[in-house]
Amino acid sequence: MSTERDSIGIGLLGAGVVGGGVARILREKADIYARQIGCPLELKRVLVRDVAKQRDVEIAPSLLTTDPSAVLDDPSIQMVIEVMGGEEPAFAYLKRALTAGKFVVTGNKEVMAKHGGELLRLAREHNVDLLYEASVGGGIPIIAPLKRDLLANDILSVTAIINGTTNYILTAMSKGGGSFADALAKAQELGFAEPDPTNDIEGIDAAYKLCILATLSFHADIMPADVYREGITKLDARDFEYAREMGYALKLLAIARRRGDGDGVGDGIELRVHPALVPQDQLLANVDGVLNAVEIEGDLMSRVLFQGPGAGSLPTTSAVVGDALDAAVSISNNVYWPHSFRRESGVKPLPIDQCQSRYYLRIRVVDEPGVLARIAGKLADGNISIASVIQKELDGARGGGEGNAEIVIMTHEALEADIQRALGDIRALAGVAAVEQMIRVRP
Amino acid sequence: MSTERDSIGIGLLGAGVVGGGVARILREKADIYARQIGCPLELKRVLVRDVAKQRDVEIAPSLLTTDPSAVLDDPSIQMVIEVMGGEEPAFAYLKRALTAGKFVVTGNKEVMAKHGGELLRLAREHNVDLLYEASVGGGIPIIAPLKRDLLANDILSVTAIINGTTNYILTAMSKGGGSFADALAKAQELGFAEPDPTNDIEGIDAAYKLCILATLSFHADIMPADVYREGITKLDARDFEYAREMGYALKLLAIARRRGDGDGVGDGIELRVHPALVPQDQLLANVDGVLNAVEIEGDLMSRVLFQGPGAGSLPTTSAVVGDALDAAVSISNNVYWPHSFRRESGVKPLPIDQCQSRYYLRIRVVDEPGVLARIAGKLADGNISIASVIQKELDGARGGGEGNAEIVIMTHEALEADIQRALGDIRALAGVAAVEQMIRVRP
């Protein structure tokens, strides 16, 4: 089935940190890869914004172009690697590449989250593959296992730490005890957070990645609008202290979870990105710094965890070039591997109101008789039972606002709608100064 | 490229715990899998030793046979799934199946460790695939990622907990403080250890799995004889106490590690299975009970960890059926996926003498002036430097033998040959009753 071939032509869209890494590794490991594939991979063209820009990686000037057609319309280019990021023009370029019958490798989470379904259908129509391992979890193989190795399973849940910036910040707050603002500033200083960190700290990046994982796991096109999202900006050093005291770590989790058996009320898929308490004895609680981890639960395999570097030039290059080698085997052997593209009907994203969790509540109160009883009463009215309570006096430094005591409550599992209603009632109680925090516990 | 096909015929060799699970899942999920593949998977024949035997899983009696030819010579069977285990007759059957042009799925670590190279070559000759995800790590996808997703990397090391029985025993000893014999008895009682536990507790099973991982990682046919092997039977409750005191957990590790740059003295691959000290802050130290974990280090991706259930009917079924679905896509689409089968020359397994580690030494001495100095002197003579020392008096219960004090030494990295020579010298010293323990630290 093997065909003699001089080389496989590659076009690269983007020559930033990852693109530069890809170009360098394709050059440095050219001999090994050629032995592996049976013919050399040849980088033919690199699309950049500015040909004259100084680059860390040496790319022959003759390869650089600012004209996308020089890559997308060149018939000697059989594979396009897109590492420019952002929705446009990347999405338009990927459509053109697939329509032209080129294999595509991308690390673009935003495009895959928003348009993955369309691009994958386009790839099938043109008998080529669209590979996107680098879009989630950097160097961790997670897309391929979900696509193929775990296919015997019904996936029950995905629980993931998939944003290195926020995990770095939360780890720093947990170990150093400082404020969110301090930890963010430190992360920016070290290059772990962008000058505008919104995408990371508001959970937008994690939500894109969750869409990609959930789409594969539940065989439905899950879109960013389906994901409930809450960032890490409101976490306080006190929450880390209380969490530790109760045996938990605080992480930004991306969760997709099947609920019910498909025919009852409340059946569907929970999809949410928010800070969460994780029991300290679970591996996810010990994934620190810029590491990522994805835990997949299936009906057969139970829980499998994948952990590793979620970002960085070399780990991302590892995923991109791994996909490129996969595509090269297809091209070199004239085989198109028809990945399963099953879409199940009736997979319904659940709004956050219908999600279930245990809840951590931190409430500032006036230290007077009966406050705790009234709060407990409102929870009981909402059918929410209490697992544990800590009440502490606030010292001067902490008691800046109204109220001089703090009550921390851990509930048993409850419906989000019930909790929200109860919190509304609690806010209106005499002696309650503020409901200062509500954090979900990982399911 | 898709061909209309009525069904894909499957022959099953073995109907034990895993075989029964495979038969059951193929039946229960028949509709889902048919949608996935585009045509049904049909279990046609099941080879068993005793047709009349009572089974947990209902298999139609007409499918059962004791005649291997009824499976291996049936042209309507395109895929053979082997879950009988053991070297023979499994190896002979697999050769026959591949030679007959059937796709093969196996979970047989012994056959793959001893004859994987031959079987994979046979598969290539006949344009079929041989898949063996279930041979290592139960439900954890690890073979496929090594074969494909991590291919852009030069693999530097594999460090794995890949035997659930020993990990269960070591976890019990660590948490309960009991003896090896007690923990083994408990494991046998719970069904986590076989009546004859030799294969597990002597590291034979782990060495088979390491051969499979190292063969894929280093592109060389690594054989069981290449692996240094030491079981867990000599570990004492005291070693767990000292380990904890020094910040380590005690695990049975399977290690394959590239040394040097390929042209110096001492270059090659370290291959070893032995108890090892693992720093408590590493994820591997926290993989407890019957869980398995494999850590892979690559030049691009740095360290990625895969963790999950290493055994059990359902997780193993997950891996076997996942491979079967993969093979079914190939069969159904008439595509043979030519996996890279690169073999590098000059990959040299290193004997244990040439391996490097830090070492934990526990030495029983007579508590008299100068003993520690003499021991330290012998280590210095061997160019071994000491990282830390604990010396304790032995109480009556512990001081049963000669000598009434115990010295525990942690060395810096040293060559195994140097340590062995130094230990020989130390044993001969006045005041030294016995070198009671030597445990390597994970590299």
Q: What is the CATH number of the domain that holds A98?
A: 3.40.50.720
Q: Which two tokens stand for residue A38?
A: 């049976």
Same domain, yes or no: A110 and A185: no
Residue B241 lies in a domain: yes
Give B191-202 pLDDT, tens digit per residue.
Answer: 999 999 999 999
Q: Are residues B107 and B29 in the same domain?
A: yes
Q: What is the pLDDT of residue A2?
A: 42
Question: Looking at residue B262, what is its pLDDT?
Answer: 55
At B166, list the tokens. Answer: 């020993």
Residue of B nearest to A155 (CA): B318
A117 in a structural domain:
yes
Please tell me which residue of chain B has the smallest CA distance to A283. Answer: B283
Tell me which chain B residues have a C-beta less than 8 angstroms from the C-beta of A2: 338
- Is residue B318 within 8 A of residue A150, CB to CB? The reply is yes
Task: Tell me how far apart the terminal alpha carbons of chain A are, to the nearest angstrom.
Answer: 49
Give per-residue pLDDT as tens, B54-92: 887 889 999 999 999 999 999 999 999 999 999 999 999
Cα of A204 to nearest chain B Cα, Å: 25
Let me know whether A159 and A251 are in one domain.
Answer: yes
For residue A150, the chain B residues in CB contact (below 8 A) are 141, 318, 322
Say which of A300, A322, A329 has its CB closest to residue B314: A300
Q: Are residues B26 and B101 in the same domain?
A: yes
| Whether the Cβ atoms of residue A2 and residue B340 lie closer than 8 Å to each other | no
Same domain assignment for residues A202 and A65: no
Contact call for B318 and A32, based on CB within 8 A: no
**Residue A320 domain boundaries:** 8-138+313-333
Q: Read off the tokens for B19.
A: 């075989």
With a CB-CB cutoff of 8 Å, which residues 334-373 of chain A face chain B?
A: 335-340, 342
Q: How far is it, in rounded angstroms, from Cα A98 to Cα A82? A: 12
pLDDT at B338: 65
Statement to judge: residues B96 and B161 lie in one domain: no
Report the residue of chain A nearest B305, measured CA to CA: A307
Q: Are residues A173 and A300 in the same domain?
A: yes
Residues lower than pLDDT 50 in chain B = 1-3
Determine, for residues A144 and B148 on separate chains, whether the beta-carbon distance falls below 8 Å.
yes
Q: For residue A159, is it within any domain? A: yes
Co-location of B154 and B297 in the same domain: yes
Please provide residue A63's backbone torsions phi and psi, each rounded to the nearest 5 degrees: -80, -25
End position of a domain, from candidates B299, B333, B367: B333
Same domain, B131 and B268: no
Which of B151, B294, B314 to mutate to probe the A interface, most A CBs <10 Å?
Answer: B151
CA pair distance A310, A292, nearest whole angstrom: 5
Nearest to B252 by CA among B112, B113, B439: B439
Q: Which of A329, A149, A257 is nearest to B320 (CA)?
A: A149
Rounded CA separation B433/A309 (Å) = 48
**What CATH number is attached to the domain comprising A196?**
3.30.360.10
Single-letter amino acid, residue A127: N
Is B317 part of a structural domain of the chain?
Answer: yes
d(CA B211, CA B134): 14
pLDDT tens across the length of chain A (443 residues): 344 578 999 999 999 999 999 999 999 999 999 988 889 999 999 999 999 888 878 899 999 999 999 999 999 999 999 999 999 999 999 999 999 999 999 999 999 999 999 999 999 999 999 999 999 999 999 999 999 889 899 999 999 999 999 999 999 999 988 999 999 999 999 999 999 999 999 999 999 999 999 999 999 999 999 999 999 999 999 999 999 999 999 999 999 999 986 555 668 999 999 999 999 989 899 999 999 999 999 999 999 999 999 888 999 999 999 999 999 988 988 877 666 566 777 789 999 999 999 999 999 999 888 999 999 999 999 999 999 999 988 876 555 567 789 999 999 999 999 999 999 999 999 999 999 999 999 99
Percent of chain B with pLDDT over 70: 95
Q: Are residues B93 and B166 in the same domain?
A: no
Are B305 and A309 an interchain contact pair (Cβ–Cβ within 8 Å)? no
Q: Which of A151, A320, A335 sits opposite B325 (nearest CB)?
A: A151
The distance of B277 to chain A (nearest Cα, Å) reads 19
Q: What are phi and psi of A29, to 5 degrees?
A: -105, 20
Q: Are residues A404 and A297 in the same domain?
A: no
pLDDT of amino acid A177: 87
Q: Is residue A433 one of the residues assigned to a domain? A: yes
- By the CB < 8 Å criterion, does B135 face chain A? no
| B234 annotated active-site | no
Q: Is A17 on the interface with B (CB under 8 A)?
A: no
Burial B103-142 (b: 16+ CB within 10 A, else e): bbbbbbbbbbbbbbbebbebbbebebbbbbbbbbbbbbbb
The CA–CA distances, whole Å, from A174 to A18, A194, A241, A249, B84 equal 30, 21, 8, 8, 50
The strand pairing partners of A158, in sequence order, are A256, A296
Write the secondary structure of chain B as one string of H (helix), E (strand) and C (coil).
CCCCCCCEEEEEECCCHHHHHHHHHHHHCHHHHHHHHCCCEEEEEEECCCCCCCCCCCCCHHHEECCCHHHHCCCCCCEEEECCCCCCCHHHHHHHHHHCCCEEEECCHHHHHHHHHHHHHHHHHCCCCEECHHHCCCCCCCHHHHHHHCCCCCEEEEEEECCHHHHHHHHHHHHHCCCHHHHHHHHHHCCCCCCCCHHHHCCHHHHHHHHHHHHHHHCCCCCHHHCEECCCCCCCHHHHHHHHHCCEEEEEEEEEEEECCCCCCCCEEEEEEEEEEEECCCHHHHCCCCEEEEEEEECCCEEEEEEEECCCHHHHHHHHHHHHHHHHHHHHHCCCCCCCCCCCCCCCEECHHHCEECEEEEEEECCCCCHHHHHHHHHHHCCCCEEEEEEEECCCCCCCCCCCEEEEEEECCEEHHHHHHHHHHHHCCCCEEEEEEEEEECC
**In CATH, what number is assigned to the domain containing residue A392?**
3.30.70.260
Residue B303 shares a structural domain with residue B154: yes
**Residue A317 to residue B152, Cβ atoms within 8 A:** yes
State the Cα–Cα distance between residues B245 and A21, nearest whole angstrom: 43
Position B80 in a domain: yes
Is residue A2 domain-resident? no
Place of tokens 């093997």: A2
Judge whether A25 is closer than 8 Å to chain B, CB to CB: yes
Whether cis (ω within 30° of 0) applies to the bond prior to B89 is yes
Domain count, chain B: 3
Q: Please state the separation of Cα A344 from the chain's center in Å.
A: 23
Within a domain: residue A272? yes
Q: 């006096």: which residue's tokens?
A: A393
